[in-house]
Amino acid sequence: MEDKPYISILVPVLNEEESLKELHQRLSDTLEGIKRTYEIIYINDGSTDKTQEILEDFHNSDSHVKVIEFNRNYGQHIALFAGFEYARGEVVITIDGDLQNPPEEIPKLVRTMEEGYEVVGTYRKRRKDSIFRKIPSYIVNKITAKLVGIRLKDYGCMLRAYRRNIVDYMKMCTESSSFIPALANTFAKRITEIEVSHEERKGGISKYGVFKLFQLNFDLMTNFSLLPIQFIGFLGIVIALLGLAFAVLLFVRRLIIGPEVEGTFTLFGILFFFVGIQIFALGIIGEYIGRIYQEVRRRPRFIIKQILQ
């Protein structure tokens, strides 16, 4: 392998022992067919099965393979940031380890990058996921497009390609949590999206449940926009004006009709509604404050247990 590869493949893995051997064989065959120098970097994100043993076997038998092992699980996007630190290729491609993104689609991304694009995203053709995954992903895509200002079909597909300069820009960002496809699009000028096939999961279970997707939405909102907190401020003004108008209405009604008790439960209902809005607003503000607290502590985003290179 030459000193500097042209293509770097980053594969974050978490308990993927069932699919790793097929994944690596298909990756190697595909990359050999491109006739470009390459490296494959596996990031073991705290696996508890035999994933690390399998990755070490890959490293010992294949000079193209590097392995980064975390001391615990940090999450897919943090794993990719670690991969960015050690990737040396001009074209950096990220791909999931569960074989739902076919490695055979990689040449298509490389060809598109060579047309002069800085970021090549992908959208999944006939996506093989349940409706419980598709609906939250649809919401994430809409929110991301709105916040980043770049309308793409599928921000959730991990099979993506980045030019070296975009990777270097992302490495400058030291926040403890971020959504990489959205972050890359804030730096890139030439962005496109191509269709790729999608396969059934070969084994194991998905690492992105409803809670993970919910957390991802908060990452998007708090890392890329002040819109939620600005919305809360605007909502506060509207509620204050409505409250003032309602108070004037009650005062006038009291002067005309006199004291009455019939509206007690209505007042309680309105009070509970306003209290709910206030608690929701405090939650949003608390989310921002909590993330500020995480950043000012300056703790490392990840701890690497060992590197095989």
- The rounded percent of the chain whose pLDDT value lies above 70 is 77
The reported pLDDT for the residue numbered 69 is 96
pLDDT in tens, 194-239: 998 887 766 656 555 555 656 666 666 666 666 677 777 777 777 7
Per-residue pLDDT, averaged over 70-79, amounts to 90
Q: Give the residue-averaged pLDDT of 173-183.
A: 79
Q: What is the pLDDT of residue 182?
A: 81
Determine the 3-state secondary structure of 109 from DSSP.
helix
DSSP string spanning 256-284? Answer: HH---STTHHHHHHHHHHHHHHHHHHHHH
Q: How far apart are CA 117 and CA 163, in angstroms?
A: 8
| 88-92, 119-123, 192-196, 235-239, range with the lowest pLDDT | 235-239
Sequence-ordered list of residues with C-beta below 8 angstroms from that of 247, at least 6 positions apart, any chain: none
Amino acid 1: pLDDT: 44
> Helices H, strands E: what count in the chain?
10, 8
Q: What is the model's pLDDT at position 295?
A: 72
The model's confidence at residue 59, banded by pLDDT at 50, 70 and 90, is very high
Confidence of residue 145 (pLDDT cuts 50, 70, 90): low
What integer pLDDT is reported at residue 126 of this predicted model? 74
How is residue 239 written in tokens? 């509620």
> Of 64, 95, 98, 99, whose CA–CA distance to 80 is shortest?
95
Mean pLDDT of the chain: 82
Q: Looking at residue 131, what is its pLDDT? A: 65
| pLDDT tens digits, 99-119 | 888 999 999 999 999 999 999
With a CB cutoff of 8 Å and minimum separation 6, the contacts of 38 are: 5, 6, 7, 8, 9, 31, 64, 89
pLDDT of 65 over the 70 cut: yes
The amino acid that residue 181 corresponds to is: P
Residue pair 132/233 in contact (Cβ under 8 Å)? The answer is no
Burial (CB count within 10 angstroms: exposed 0-12, middle 13-18, buried 19+), residue 29: exposed
What was the pLDDT predicted at 224?
A: 64
pLDDT above 70: residue 298: yes
Which of 59-68, 213-222, 288-297 is predicted least confidently? 213-222
Tokens of 232: 């809360």
Rg, the chain, Cα only: 25
Give the whole-angstrom CA distance, residue 54 versus residue 88: 23
140-166: average pLDDT: 78
Cα–Cα distance measured from residue 265 to residue 258, given in angstroms and rounded to the nearest whole number: 18
Q: Burial level of 61, CB count in 10 A (0-12/13-18/19+)?
A: exposed
Q: Mean pLDDT check: name the lowest of 16-20, 47-51, 296-300.
A: 296-300
Burial 233-258 (b: 16+ CB within 10 A, else e): eeeeeeeeeeeeeeeeeeeeeeeeee
For domain 7-208+301-308, give the CATH superfamily. Spore Coat Polysaccharide Biosynthesis Protein SpsA; Chain A (3.90.550.10)
- Nearest by Cα to 177 from 281, 291, 29: 291
**pLDDT given for residue 212 in this prediction:** 62
Using the predicted structure, report yes or no on whether residue 192 has a pLDDT greater than 80: yes
